Amino acid sequence: MQRASRLKRELSLLTTEPPPGITCWQNESQLDDLRAQILGGADTPYEKGIFNLEIVVPERYPFEPPKIRFLTPIYHPNIDSAGRICLDVLKLPPKGAWRPSLNISTLLTSIQLLMAEPNPDDPLMADISSEYKYNKQLFLLNAREWTEKYASQQKKVSKPLEEKINQSKTGTTNDSAVQKRKGSNICKKEKKSRLDS
């Protein structure tokens, strides 16, 4: 009941005053399915990358946090290969720190911050985390390579322009999807290609 009024206000705020480097919109005018993009911050290995995220807004929002995951593969200690994010504000208390004073805009900003400042002491990807801790140079190299490979818009431009607008509910699909990721228990929808271009 509260979800509708909340989302309406949040979406209009996101349109008129988006947080720096963040865009968020409704996916095919469904109320509970949003998409967002985060621009990789300067002086991070994600610089010049554009990262797509999926936001599923539960029925009980804002009493429950939205479920957010990365659609674009990202090399990060706290983000797993299914795009799931380990961040306290995305979980309900007592384990997490979600509260209704937060919103989608502040969550996306927190994720942007997490990208710039990984938290290797609470890792989701143990290998990446130890690499981040003990071999920062290699971590930066790998993260930059992934950004270049999966999140770079410049590369998309140079590709044959075969992008087609896919109106089906499953989201955009693409033949050239390099890698498939399943958001197994994140969203109950059927699996779809993780790369939307």
Partner 1 sequence: MAGSGALLRQCPLLLPQNRERTAYEGFVTAQGRDFHIRILLPMDFQLKNARIECSWHLKKILHGYQHILKQRLHSCPDLVSFMVELKTVLEIALKNTQDLHIPRPPEYYSCLVRDLEILGWNKVVYVDTGLTTVKLKAEDSCGRQHLVTLKLNAKYPTEPPDCLVDFPVQFAISWMPQNSLIDIYNQFLAALESLKEFWDAMDEIDGKTWVLEPENPTRSATSRRIAIGNNVSVNVEVDPRHPNMLPECYFLGADHVVNPLRIKLNNNMHLWDPEISLLQNLKDVLEIDFPSRAVLEKSDFAKDCGICYAYRLDGTTPDQVCDDPRCGQPYHRACLYEWLQGLPSSRQSFNVIFGECPYCNKPLTLKSSTKKL
Number of residues that bind partner 1 (CB under 8 A): 41
Q: Which of residues 38-67 bind partner 1 (CB under 8 A)?
A: 39, 48, 50, 62-63
Alpha-carbon 65 to chain mean position: 15
Distance CA 3, CA 196 (A): 28
Residue 16 engages partner 1 in binding (rule: CB under 8 A):
yes
Choice between 12 and 135, CB closer to partner 1: 12
Choice between 108 and 128, CB closer to partner 1: 108
Q: Which of residues 87-146 bind partner 1 (CB under 8 A)?
A: 92-94, 99-101
User: Strand order in 33-39's β-sheet?
Assistant: 22-26, 33-39, 50-56, 67-70
Residue 86 annotated to the active site? yes
Q: What is the per-residue burial (b if ≥16 Cβ within 10 Å, else e) of 90-125? A: beeeeeeebeeebbbbebbbbbbebbeebbbeebbb
Binding site for partner 1 (CB under 8 A): 1-2, 5-6, 9-10, 12-18, 20-21, 23-25, 27, 35, 37, 39, 48, 50, 62-63, 92-94, 99-101, 153, 156-157, 161, 163, 165, 172, 196-197
What residues are annotated to the active site?
A: 86
